[in-house]
Structure 1
Amino acid sequence: MSESWKLSAFAAKPVIQAALLYHEEIDDWDPEVVISGSEVVEDRPQEWVLEAWYSHEPSEAQQADIAGLFDGDVPVFTVEKLPEQDWITLSQQGAEPIRAGCFYIHTSDYPPADGAMNIEIPASQAFGTGHHETTAGCLEMLDAMKERGVVSRNIADIGTGTGLLAIAAMRLWPRALCTASDIDDVCAGVVADNAELNSLPIGADRGQLTMVIADGMADPLLEARGPYDLLIANILAAPLVELAPDFEAAVTPGASILLAGLLERQEPAVRRAYRQAGFRLAERHVNGNWSILWLRKRR
């Protein structure tokens, strides 16, 4: 066990969530610094805390990195040394299972649930375990698609992160081809480990998952494995708008695309971009302040 330290910053829920999303955009974030956000107490759901864990006392530069995640007033930080223990596991304690549609997302600390599609994601990957409203909303929407008769044979998950949504889609359509991509090359190993943990083979055949490191759709393998009849992109509003023409070119007529990572106030701009690219709205959910959109490409 190693020395461990924790930095805490308290603020309103939207402030912490915005900081967490901005953190996801930073390509060169130190992978050793784990951060997460959560309610302070259950009966005050709008009061949140952002926590960052370190294997040493955080330097002034590292504290400045956390401050840079906030737009405007920066919360007051507290820094404390913790008892010696596994600081990565400590950072994710309390990552309780979630139910989202037919899915039950859990860590190894919890047993699978009867009557659910169980997916295990390690505790050290808390921001990819479905706890954020965008990820949970995507899981619920995938379940809704299946309930409404969508049949998918070729799936792409763009910006896959931990691979959770790709794994979930393969649980619903187990004979499909599936290609997951992310701009961060660290994700390749994470996705491979999570696929193995959930008995999803890595490979290029039906019923298997192929992982690609790519910026958007800019990859020869992504292009070669298309066109897709289901494309998932839980990223951010600005890249969603930018990628609308590329997504249109990558999917079949009548295909479904699932978009998330956008706040409700950003929804009009995203929907306008996809309407211009030839998509129509099939269904929308709102989870917290976040919009989850299911669109269909016009035939």
Structure 2
Amino acid sequence: MLEGLPPNDATHVMRVAAPRIPAQRIADLISESFDPAEVAVANFEQAEDDWVVEVFAGAAFDAEMLRELVEAAAGPAIAATVTFGDVEEKDWVAASLEGLVPVTVGPFVVHGAHDRAKVGPNRVGIEIEAALAFGTGHHGTTQGCLHAIVDAARRGRPRHVLDVGTGTGVLAIAAERRFHTKVVGSDIDVVAVRTARANARANRAPGVLMLHAAGAEARALRDNGPYDLILANILLPPLKRLARPLRALLAPGGRIVLSGLLTSQAPAALAAYRAQGLRLVSRRNIEGWTTLTLAVRAQRPHRHVAS
């Protein structure tokens, strides 16, 4: 996994080794704590359950702050092994792609251009390159949302879909390719919107409309709604703030998928949406991250989907 590409003038690197799940938590926490245009985080496997996290920047790190983040994510023993160094010259794009193997979720195969030939017949290939936006398909939150799209397809074909915080656009593209319907993707980050638009064109998803919008109350989102399926793969604080406006955008009988949540954060997100009259339909846990599917009125008993 690589969230962002190393800055062109990257001169500093932080490295730490850890088992897979702690390494992923370290990478996630650091990537959430910095501007992706200034700091890039790579997480890759060296051997079985032996992973390395590398953090790149063009300015010297605050070593104490980074050690504190590593300790918060993985404990003091691993934080004590953090090292800092200078960056050697290398082909950053090639290096970033080495660790991005194709990810398969149901019919979807999310891959980079270097693995285009590996997409088998009867699969829905979605080509996403590492970029300055979140969403290569490798993160548990993205995979959870892809599973939710597969689940939604079993219920029927939603007429309108909204992907809030679209990042690279991978979820919006997946929904358009699966449902062959109108999909709106939005993001507060103009770089993400440009990236998502380019990805939608590259993946021949003409039904995707990418909008630059702050939050869920933008007029353009209301004008294109209401939505039968809303995807929101962001973080807990904005998810809680969006509970009321997302509920207002939901069509009768529609569903909302929430992700970007550590398993421990799921109850707080659920409480915010229950206050808006929504009920839990299903929960999926993947590598310490939780994806929730909610509806105004649950049509079947709550079920737990094992990861």
Alignment of 1:165-180 (within 5 A): 165-174=171-180, 176-180=181-185
Q: Which moved more, 1:118-127 or 1:243-252?
A: 118-127
Question: How far is 1:34 from its partner?
Answer: 2.4
Alignment of 1:76-95 (within 5 A): 76-82=82-88, 84-95=89-100
Structure 1: give runs of 5+ residues left out of the alignment.
Answer: 202-207
Question: How far is 1:141 from its partner?
Answer: 1.8
Corresponding residue for 2:103? 98
**Aligned with 2:257: secondary structure?**
strand
Question: How far is 1:260 from its partner?
Answer: 0.7
Give yes or no for contact 2:187–2:213 (8 Å, CA) kept in 1. Answer: yes
Question: How far is 1:25 from its partner?
Answer: 4.2
Give yes or no for contact 2:37–2:132 (8 Å, CA) kept in 1. Answer: no
Corresponding residue for 2:189? 184
Alignment partner of 2:121 out of 100, 108, 114: 114
Corresponding residue for 1:204? none
Indicate the percent of aligned positions where both proteins have the same amino acid.
35
How high is the TM-score relative to the length of structure 2?
0.81
Question: How far is 1:113 from its partner?
Answer: 2.1
Q: Deviations over 1:230-270 (max 9, x none)?
A: 10001112222221111111111210111111122111222
Corresponding residue for 1:52? 55
Give yes or no for contact 1:200–1:209 (8 Å, CA) kept in 2. Answer: yes
Corresponding residue for 2:160? 154
Question: How far is 1:126 from its partner?
Answer: 8.8
Give me the whole-angstrom Cα distance separating, in 1, the residues matched to 2:69 and 2:178: 36
Give yes or no for contact 2:18–2:51 (8 Å, CA) kept in 1. Answer: yes
Moved over 3 A (4+): 1-7, 11-26, 63-75, 123-127
The 1:160–1:65 alpha-carbon spacing in structure 2 relative to 1, beyond 3 Å, is: farther
Corresponding residue for 2:255? 256
Give yes or no for contact 1:4–1:85 (8 Å, CA) kept in 2. Answer: no
State yes or no: 1:195 paired with 2:200: yes
Give me the whole-angstrom Cα distance separating, in 2, the residues matched to 1:282 and 1:170: 23
Alignment RMSD: 2.7
How high is the TM-score relative to the length of structure 1?
0.83
The 1:24–1:245 alpha-carbon spacing in structure 2 relative to 1, beyond 3 Å, is: farther
The 1:89–1:33 alpha-carbon spacing in structure 2 relative to 1, beyond 3 Å, is: farther
Give yes or no for contact 1:2–1:85 (8 Å, CA) kept in 2. Answer: no
Give yes or no for contact 1:157–1:180 (8 Å, CA) kept in 2. Answer: yes
Alignment of 1:264-283 (within 5 A): 264-283=263-282
Structure 2: give runs of 5+ residues left out of the alignment.
Answer: 1-7, 299-307
| Count of aligned pairs | 283
Give yes or no for contact 1:15–1:70 (8 Å, CA) kept in 2. Answer: no
The 1:223–1:280 alpha-carbon spacing in structure 2 relative to 1, beyond 3 Å, is: same
